[in-house]
Amino acid sequence: MATLSSPTSTHRPYVGRFAPSPSGALHFGSLIAALGSYLRARSQQGKWLIRIEDIDPPREVKGAADDILRTLEAYGFEWDDVPLYQSQRTAAYQAQIDSLLAQDKAYFCQCSRKQIQAMGGVYDGRCHRLPQTQAANVVKSGAVRIVNTAQVQQFDDNLMGHICVDSHFAAEDFIIKRSDGLYAYQLAVVLDDAYQGITEVVRGCDLIEASCRQLSLYQNFGLAAPQWLHLPLACLSQGFKLSKQNHAQAIDTLHPQSSLNAALAFLGQQPVETQGSVAQMLVQAVDQFQLSTIPQQSEILIEP
Ligand code: GLU
């Protein structure tokens, strides 16, 4: 059984967030993440911020960011501050990369996917170990990898308890800028959670292992890390999460009451009255919120 620690132990006023990628409309799985993070933040009298993670244009669906915000409104969610768009933050990402490269805390790598497969699937750091003369000749292009000195392998999750990842995964010099020029999620999420002053990250369990990489970056950058709380994932079958990629149905914006109660039930919460407005439903849900009744399961199967 996991130990549930208090999110106020950081002594910072609680700031939570919901960080959707605009790759499609909100579906039941993303409603869980929005609702879980909202209930947790508001039950701590905390702020709840929105960040649109729009730095992957090939995966972006035109109009999805606005659609997500309108859907959240239709469900009665109110956020603090204006939403932050990652596409507006690329100068900060690049400045961090430039500074790391200048200090030999990151390096270019041109190894192909095939080469990495031949290394056993985990990159072995060979481009960083190139002899000086060879390194000078390496074209300054390709992916950028962090020199992963922190190698965080474990952390305590406020719902799932003690999490430990594979040591090779923890030690990998992972990519912080892709060879196609796009900034990696791990870099952007850390710089932005720090920038927005997030004290606890509440999101789906699909990202639980990524938290170790993110903690490595916090250490490397000398930034205060948030706490973590990973929610069960809504899955159609084992290991098959409901997602935009597998065309999960968009949630109904005309009749949000039943989806809200279904999402509350998924999170182990009591149902709320459906006669009033959605805003009233959320107020009641915040009042009733109990962390201890959220199932400590990484996946929960739902009906399609
Ligand atoms: N943008 C990610 C997604 O939509 C979530 C990232 C996060 O919460 O850290 O799956």
Q: Which residues of 192-212 are buried (b: 16+ CB within 10 A; e: fewer)?
A: bbbebebbbbbbbbbbbebbb
Residue 151 contacts residue 170 (beta carbons within 8 Å) = yes
Helices 90-102 and 185-195 pack at an angle, to 10 degrees, of 110
| Closest C-alpha residue for ligand 1 atom 7 | 19
CATH architecture of 11-301: 3-Layer(aba) Sandwich (3.40)
pTM of the predicted structure, to 2 decimals = 0.93
Ligand 1 pocket check: which of 49, 157, 201, 207 to mutate, most ligand atoms within 8 Å of Cβ?
A: 207
* Residue nearest atom 6 of ligand 1, based on CA coordinates: 19
Give residue 18 CA to ligand 1 midpoint distance, Å: 8
Ligand 1: centre distance to CA 91 (Å): 21
Closest CA to 263 of 285, 287, 238: 285
Q: Could you write out the DSSP letters of every residue in 184-218?
A: PHHHHHHHHHHHTT-SEEEEEGGGTTHHHHHHHHH
Q: What is the CB < 6 Å shell around ligand 1?
A: 19-21, 53, 189, 203, 207
pLDDT of residue 141: 82
Q: What percent of the chain has pLDDT over 90?
A: 86
Rounded to whole angstroms, the Cα distance separating 265 from 270 reads 7
Give the tens place of pLDDT for each residue, 229-266.
999 999 988 888 888 777 688 999 998 999 999 999 99
> Is 232 one of the annotated binding-site residues?
no
What pLDDT score does 246 carry?
73
Domain ranges in the chain are 11-301
Count other Cβ atoms within 10 Å, centred on residue 29.
25
Residue 278 Cα, ligand 1 centroid: separation in angstroms? 24
User: Candidates 27, 35, 203, 243: which one to mutate for ligand 1, based on the most atoms within 8 Å of Cβ?
Assistant: 203
